[in-house]
């Protein structure tokens, strides 16, 4: 039987929805028993949230002042101290999980399965390569721990209503001090989070300036949507880095994605493949974004977007 450990992602006492998506992925493995590990300075609040995820057997808390910030080098030895009890160790394919999980895999002497998008069986998974241009089926060796990151856009969050037991793990492993947290400059604000928003409005290079990018924020606010951006828009300084959607930014799956002045490069498209409906507004009828858009409007954004906003 598979025993799966999921490493919880959290910030400021809030469990990240990526954790419930990992549970959803893990529950695709037949007969799996699923535990969540919460590493924090004070894990109580996050553990209580994790315990409510349906399908979780136990929430194991690892309290330590050194866990105040999610440093991979500090988390890894603690996870490794309990990893031996499990057949699988999963984390989300967010910057948190991408940073941490390979450090665990290397110490266990196993390859990592990155960005699991489907479970075939306990050791066999599907994942994207070449910016999503190909999907490979990979088989991890039997009899060794499976370490994987879960592509969160591929799984709906497991539902709430669970009541897992919460157990504190006593731990006495030496933790390194060679890596120190200095600061976190959070973007965000009050808008819906890009990774979980039902609707996302995204702007590209065509916006032309940070001032003009305000149009995207205004439109998004009107729709109560999250805001995204292409790499060109981020590189040009129109939008902060945490808004980048794509191969090297965030992979998202909103119900509605509205791409404005974005050409639709493959590296961008790989971030929105799982969106429910894609709308594209672009003045170039030949733009590749129209090959994937469910609804396309060939128009100048400086006219179409204000018109849309006025009509809503």
Ligand X SMILES: Cc1cc2nc3c(=O)[nH]c(=O)nc-3n(C[C@H](O)[C@H](O)[C@H](O)COP(=O)(O)OP(=O)(O)OC[C@H]3O[C@@H](n4cnc5c(N)ncnc54)[C@H](O)[C@@H]3O)c2cc1C
Residues in 278-297 that interact with ligand X by CB under 6 A = 282-284, 287
Q: Least distance from C-beta 264 to ligand X, angstroms? A: 7
For other proteins, the closer of residues 164 and 281 by Cβ is: 281
The 3-class secondary structure across 69-108, one letter per residue, is CCCHHHHHHHHHHHHCCCCEEEEECCHHHHHHHHHHHHHH
Q: Least distance from C-beta 79 to ligand X, angstroms? A: 28
For other proteins, the closer of residues 44 and 129 by Cβ is: 129
Q: Is 10 in the site for other proteins (CB under 8 A)?
A: no
Residues 6+ apart with CB under 8 A from 251: 93, 151, 152, 153, 245, 270, 271, 274
For ligand X, the closer of residues 37 and 251 by Cβ is: 251
Question: Do residues 287 and 280 lie in contact, with contact meaning Cβ atoms separated by under 8 Å?
Answer: yes
Q: Considering only residues 14, 95, 248, 277, which one is a binding residue for ligand X as defined by CB under 6 A? A: 248
Phi and psi torsions of 93, nearest 5°: -85, 50
Q: Parallel, antiparallel, or unpaired for β 33-40 and 3-7?
A: parallel
Question: Do residues 278 and 262 lie in contact, with contact meaning Cβ atoms separated by under 8 Å?
Answer: no
Q: Centre a 10 Å sphere on the Cβ of residue 44 and count the other Cβ atoms it contains.
A: 13
- Residues numbered 226 to 255 that lie near other proteins (CB under 8 A) are 231, 234-235, 240-242, 247-248, 250, 255
For other proteins, the closer of residues 47 and 104 by Cβ is: 104
Q: Is 300 in the site for ligand X (CB under 6 A)?
A: yes
Question: Do residues 220 and 245 lie in contact, with contact meaning Cβ atoms separated by under 8 Å?
Answer: no
Vertex 66, ends 65 and 72: CA angle to 5°? Answer: 145
Q: Least distance from C-beta 95 to other proteins, angstroms? A: 4
Closest CA to 38 of 9, 68, 13, 69: 9
Two tokens at 48? 């209580």
Residue where the block lists tokens 């910057």: 95
For ligand X, the closer of residues 98 and 205 by Cβ is: 205
For other proteins, the closer of residues 19 and 195 by Cβ is: 195
Residues 6+ apart with CB under 8 A from 130: none
Partner that binds at residue 283, options ligand X, other proteins, none, CB closer than 5 to 8 Å by kind: ligand X
SS3 at position 166: strand
Distance CA 123, CA 144 (A): 10
- Residues numbered 77 to 116 that lie near other proteins (CB under 8 A) are 94-96, 98-107, 109-115
Partner that binds at residue 28, options ligand X, other proteins, none, CB closer than 5 to 8 Å by kind: none
- Residues numbered 17 to 76 that lie near ligand X (CB under 6 A) are none
Q: Is 244 in the site for ligand X (CB under 6 A)?
A: yes
For other proteins, the closer of residues 4 and 79 by Cβ is: 79
Distance CA 228, CA 233 (A): 10
Q: Considering only residues 30, 137, 159, 214, which one is a binding residue for other proteins as defined by CB under 8 A? A: 137
- Residues numbered 195 to 234 that lie near ligand X (CB under 6 A) are 204-206, 230-233
Return residues touching ligand X (CB under 6 A).
204-206, 230-233, 244-249, 261-263, 265, 267-268, 271, 282-284, 287, 300-302
């Amino acid at each position: 039987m598979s025993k799966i450990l999921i490493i919880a992602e959290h910030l400021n006492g809030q469990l990240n929805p990526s954790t419930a998506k990992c549970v959803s992925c893990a529950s695709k493995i037949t007969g799996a028993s699923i535990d969540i590990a919460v590493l924090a300075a004070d894990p109580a609040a996050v553990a209580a949230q994790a315990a409510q995820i349906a399908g979780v057997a136990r929430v194991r808390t690892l309290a330590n002042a050194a866990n105040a910030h999610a440093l991979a080098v500090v988390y890894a030895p603690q996870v490794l101290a309990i990893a031996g009890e499990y057949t699988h160790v999963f984390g989300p394919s967010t910057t948190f999980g991408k940073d941490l999980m390979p450090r665990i895999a290397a110490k266990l002497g196993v390859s990592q399965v990155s960005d699991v998008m489907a479970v075939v069986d306990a050791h066999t998974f599907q994942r994207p390569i070449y910016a999503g241009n190909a999907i490979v089926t990979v088989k991890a060796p039997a009899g060794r721990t499976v370490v994987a990151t879960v592509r969160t856009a591929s799984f709906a969050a497991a539902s709430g209503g669970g009541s897992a037991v919460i157990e504190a793990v006593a731990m006495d492993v030496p933790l390194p001090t060679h890596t120190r947290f200095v600061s976190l400059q959070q973007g965000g604000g009050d808008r819906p989070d890009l990774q979980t928003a039902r609707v996302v409005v995204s702007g590209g290079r065509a916006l032309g300036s940070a001032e003009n990018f305000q149009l995207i924020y205004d439109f998004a606010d009107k729709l109560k949507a999250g805001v995204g951006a292409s790499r060109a828009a981020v590189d040009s300084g129109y939008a902060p880095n945490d808004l980048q959607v794509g191969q090297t930014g965030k992979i998202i799956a909103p119900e509605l994605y509205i791409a404005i002045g974005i050409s639709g490069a493959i590296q961008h498209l790989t971030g929105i493949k799982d969106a429910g409906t894609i709308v594209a507004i672009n003045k170039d009828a030949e733009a590749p974004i129209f090959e994937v858009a469910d609804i396309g409007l060939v128009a100048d954004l400086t006219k179409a977007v204000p018109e849309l906003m006025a009509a809503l």
